[in-house]
Chains A and B, each alone.
Chain A
Amino acid sequence: MINEILVYVGEALVLIGVFCDIAASIGMLRFPNFYTRMHAATVGTIGGAVVPLIGVALMALGCDWLGTYRFFLAGASIVAGILIMLLAPVGTHVLALAAHRAGLAPKKPLVFDHLEEERARRND
């Protein structure tokens, strides 16, 4: 009974992940510039990678026929999920900072930009 619930909840989480990944890739293609695409990429890392990894962990815990390997699978996927949670934003911060500092990414739909004003004030 409890095993079946774990497997079904895990499968639901993996399904949510699939949906998030598809939506993220559509957003990646449709959004107008680099900065807005970064938000779509975040949907892909949290909804599309961390949530399904938790789902895989629950599914592994529910599968009796895996024997003791199910704990290994569950633990490894949970640790991987936590590491993605901690490390993915670092990459996003660095990419955004580099793009803004180099000024290579078009900023066109931006309504206002406090960072640009701040930088201009510091250079004065």
Chain B
Amino acid sequence: MTRKTLASIPAAILSFVIYLFYTGSLGLFDVITGAIVAVIIGLLVGNIVVENPGKALSIRRGFLMLIYIIWYFLVAETKAHIDVIKRALHPKMPLNPAIIKVPYNVSTDYAMTLIANSITNTPGTVVVDLDYENKYFFVHWLDAKTSDPLKAREIISSKFEEFAKKIFD
């Protein structure tokens, strides 16, 4: 089997699972139409979205992704939401905004996307721009506790980076 056909397998599996989830039934009709759609989509986009089929099919990485999503929702999001809601409702509205550069240390596009999306999805930090060559995110931070990029990385993104490295690199 060539790399190209192998690369279409994870894409096809993902679109099949999403199709079944979306229709919400395991009837014969849905499974057959889902399989046809999944094969077509897999052959069309597999080569573009998947670089390394072994990585995409790894069960360990998928399991880590699941742990990451649960941790992210229960810990990171909750903390950030409570913090920003407190600031919004506080009579004095304590704000200390700044745009700070935060270095990152991952190589693949998927890992970068995961980190940037995680930073933006937690209220209180928004990625404004990024520097490919020197590997910096420029993050708008609602409560800038420090102006040192390395310390900021420790506070903002070190945990996301750890997971992104394990999942996608």
Contact = CB atoms under 8 A, between A and B. Distances in A.
Interface of B: 18, 20-25, 77, 81, 84-85, 87-89, 93, 95-101, 116-117, 120-129, 131, 136, 138, 140, 142, 144, 147, 149
B121 A115 contact: no
Question: Which interface residue of A31, A45, A76 has the most chain B CB atoms within 10 A?
Answer: A31
B113 to A, nearest CB: 9
Contact of B123 (A43, A69, A110): A43
Interface residues of A, number: 48
B99 to A, nearest CB: 5
Contacts of B138: 114-115, 118
Chain A interface main SS type: helix
A76 B140 CA distance: 33
Contacts of A35: 97, 126, 128, 140
A40 B84 contact: yes
B118 to A, nearest CB: 8
Contacts of B89: 23, 26-27
Contacts, number: 137
Interface in A53-79: 68-76, 78-79
Interface of A: 20, 23-24, 26-27, 30-32, 35-36, 38-40, 42-43, 45-47, 68-76, 78-79, 85-86, 88-90, 92-93, 96-97, 100, 109-116, 118
Given A89-B120, A100-B129, A113 B99 contact: yes
Contact of B98 (A43, A78, A110): A110
A20 B120 contact: no
A42 B120 contact: yes
A68 B26 CA distance: 10
